Amino acid sequence: SSELTQDPAVSVALGQTVRITCQGDSLRTYYASWYQQKPGQAPILVIYGRNSRPSGIPDRFSGSSSGNTASLTITGAQAEDEADYYCNSRDSSGNHWVFGGGTKLTVL
Amino acid sequence: EVQLVESGGGLVQPGGSLRLSCAASGFTFTTYWMSWVRQAPGKGLEWLANIKQDGTEKYYVDSVKGRFTISRDNAKNSLYLQMNSLRVEDTAVYYCTRVRVPDAMSNWFDPWGQGTLVTVSS
């Protein structure tokens, strides 16, 4: 399958931990990368590879993977983390890439 | 500073054509794959196409294959997307992004341009 499936919406209380998941067969072969997008802005990379963060991304963001599921965890969510989050990986061919449908995170 | 700046978006009629450009700066353009990604209004991200460093390999999502062409001019540090036979459903913000493919298991897009809006309407 070339699809990546995400929950459309997730909420978390301020300061609590939230996990956003991404499911797809290709995740058994390829790592997912994760992107944060706030309204009216371009996406930014928050997690890549096994569990790496670009410079400037807070360490409360982490990634993990098991089987066909990749996860983005925010430990101690802040109000500024409210955004849409997208996973991305290659499909089974390795030459086409695909995004998950996105998860809208609300921080309560 | 690594920067990607798209241009060329606008209003076009169904069946028309448009050419998007992306000017890259702050990094060695010739050493990276590049990609186009779009986002329809209120919708998610959709990967469209990738192009290898020397332009010899190109890959497209099925929905644009045969209509869109990705290309690059390494002498000008520029990426392009030629869009033909445009449809109403091609209306979206189009992003240029740099691709990292360090090994067989990993890939990511970073950074992204600010995007350029393409509206296909009569």
Residue range B51-102, pLDDT digits in tens? 999 999 999 999 999 999 999 999 999 999 999 999 999 999 999 999 999 9
Long-range contacts of B101-105 (CB under 8 A, 24+ apart): B101/B33, B102/A49, B105/A29, B105/A30, B105/A31
Chain A environment of B114 (Cβ under 8 Å): 42
Q: Are residues A26 and A1 in contact, defined by beta-carbon separation less than 8 angstroms?
A: yes
In angstroms, rounded to a whole number, what is the distance separating the alpha carbons of residues A98 and B46? 7
Chain A environment of B108 (Cβ under 8 Å): 33, 45, 48-49, 88
Nearest to B44 among A45, A89, A101 (CB): A101
Nearest to B95 among A33, A42, A50 (CB): A42
Average pLDDT over all residues of chain A: 95
pLDDT band at A2 (very low <50, low <70, confident <90, very high): low
State the average pLDDT over residues A38-51.
97
Which neighbouring-strand residues pair with B69? B82
What is the percent of chain B where pLDDT is above 90?
A: 96
What is the percent of chain A where pLDDT is above 70?
A: 98
Interchain contact A104–B (C-beta under 8 A): no
Chain A window 35-94: which residues touch B at a Cβ cutoff of 8 Å?
Answer: 35, 37, 42-45, 48-50, 54, 84, 86, 88-90
Average pLDDT over all residues of chain B: 97
DSSP A14-58: TTS-EEEEEE-GGGGTS--EEEEE-TTS--EEEEBTTTB--TTS-
In angstroms, rounded to a whole number, what is the distance separating the alpha carbons of residues B11 and A10? 35
In angstroms, rounded to a whole number, what is the distance separating the alpha carbons of residues A97 and B25? 25
Closest CA to A88 of A37, A40, A12: A37
Chain A environment of B38 (Cβ under 8 Å): none
Interface size, chain A vs chain B, as Cβ–Cβ contacts under 8 Å: 68
Q: What is the pLDDT of residue A1?
A: 44
